[in-house]
Amino acid sequence: MTQPKFKIKKGDVVQVTAGGSRGQRGTVLKVFLDEGKVIVGGVNVVIRNVKPDYKHPDGPYRKEMKIDISNVSLVDPSTNRPAKVGYKIEDGKKVRYFKKSGNVMSGVGR
């Protein structure tokens, strides 16, 4: 099987559109292409209760959990709202752009 492709990449600012963390924004820390999930910084945080040991000397710790990629949307910086994203060819390179505003997404490797 081929690996699925998504328009969300590491470092993008996204807003959660569904679930308990709905409306929260954060930066994508990691994308799991094979599972179709992302980890967003500061969103969907749980507290893991563990006994203090060498790995967790303070005991309980906070951890971001995965969110389904269909439940997040990229945020357009010009309108500061979630927006749909498409691809187009610009100067011989494939770039992502916001469909409503037409702005090309900037950034390294994007």
Residue 80 to residue 16: CA distance in whole angstroms:
14
- The H-assigned helical ranges of the chain are none
* Number of Cβ atoms within 10 Å of the Cβ of 45: 14
Question: Residue 104 domain-assigned?
Answer: no
Domains of the chain: total? 1
Q: What is the CATH number of the domain that holds 72?
A: 2.30.30.30
Task: State the pLDDT confidence band at 3, using cuts at 50, 70 and 90.
Answer: confident
Digit-coded pLDDT (tens) for 41-97: 999 999 999 999 999 999 999 999 999 999 999 999 999 999 999 999 999 999 999
Residue 104 to residue 98: CA distance in whole angstroms:
6
Question: Residue 85 domain-assigned?
Answer: no
Strand 72-76 relative to strand 81-82, pairing: antiparallel
Backbone angles phi, psi at 25, to 5 degrees: -120, 155
Digit-coded pLDDT (tens) for 14-39: 999 999 999 999 999 999 999 999 99
